[in-house]
Structure 1
Amino acid sequence: MLNDNQKNTLKKELYEMKEHLSITEEETDIKDSVQENSGELSMYDNHPADLGTELYEREKDMALHVHAGSELEKVESALQAMQEGSYGKCEVCQKDIPFERLEAVPYTTLCIDHATEQEVPHDRPVEEDTLTMANPNSFSGAARDGEDSFQEIAKSGTSETPSDFIGDRDNYNTLYDSGISDGATEEFEEFIGTDINGKSRGFIRSDASEKYEAELDDEGIESPLGDIPYHENDGYIEGNEK
């Protein structure tokens, strides 16, 4: 049973919460249209990304407005229960809710034992019905980098059009198709790699790099410019010019 001092403490906290939530609900109430709020006369002459920030702010205000309204209803119900003398009772078992719990959540109507019995929604976004999650056991050894990941996702559509790219394109599916299938970022690429334990795996080359190197070997040259002359000293150091 709550004593008078505890009730006064909780009542004061509830009124403070009510004032704060009322201000939040009023400040986040969206009354103007996007055009009125942004000052734009028309949305047709703007790139979709230009209004991205404005859309984000409106969505955030809507979420805060709904949340504040929901919390405000709980606070007002708790204040009404105080006037009726039913405040601090669990609506399931009708036992007194401890002051420590009410101090943490003044508008709660459930004791700690029955608070965990609230229904938790188990429905998932509809997109998950079509998404295929990666299987870690199917890892083949060639990791994808950020560019490859973007290219794969971008094939599903972006705000860009074929006119934004250099060269002729037959369809949208080829806009981000680099033609590189071995996991490399560039067509001609080589770098020193390590395995999962940090041990060196030597030079890792793209398929095109290995093919190009084999062609140079067949021609017996080091580069398209010919053999690179050897200098014992560095030519860029003063006094060592050849």
Structure 2
Amino acid sequence: MTSSAEPVRPSIWSRPARGTRGPAPTHTRDEIVAAAIAVADADGIGAVSMRAVATALDTGAGSLYRYLTSRDDLLDLMADRAAGELRPYPEATGDWLDAMLRIARRQLELYRRHRWLVEILPRPTAFGPESLAFFDHCLAVLRPAPAATTTKFEAIAMTTGVVSLFARSEAAGPPARLDGIDLAAFPHLAAALTAPQAPPAQRDLFEATVRGVLRGLLADAGGPEGQPGS
């Protein structure tokens, strides 16, 4: 969270696409963002630097500062460009809970394509046009839900958090092994691990989690003064 003493970084979308000084542009902001995403997809977000992106574009790192003021600007643009891949949005027809589940599945597909997204989304960021369009669509889907608007914003954020959790878990691979660890000091854990295991339930854990979170937040929530939210 930014304290009141810290300067607020102006949104990249509030500034011109390039500076007014210096030589004529040789690349567009879109080309820079596309190159950065290609680097991140190939080598991870840690490999994304102004120098690496400039190298991918066959130019000098200094030239990128005519378009961006910092790496943070670049990350904001990358996140918003990725959000644009959620289009066309799943249909907002039918039950709102089913529609939100379709949206969550689309998000999970996006995070699987761009593994680096889970690493940059928790950072303070400026919302771009694609991110705002996504929120707008989600609010349209949630219009019938009996909850206040603030609760709907929380539900959208929590759904994104669930998607991020599942994407991060997939990327992490299988859990760590406990070989060689004496579990005597952890009796409940030891009992759970040594008890006969029933066949795994045939259920979609992702769907169950998304539906559970959204039902808990929205299904019985009242709007202001107990009335359904807009």
> What is the TM-score with the length of structure 2 in the denominator?
0.22
The structure having more radius of gyration, on CA atoms, is 1
Larger strand percent: 1
Q: TM-score, normalised by structure 1?
A: 0.22
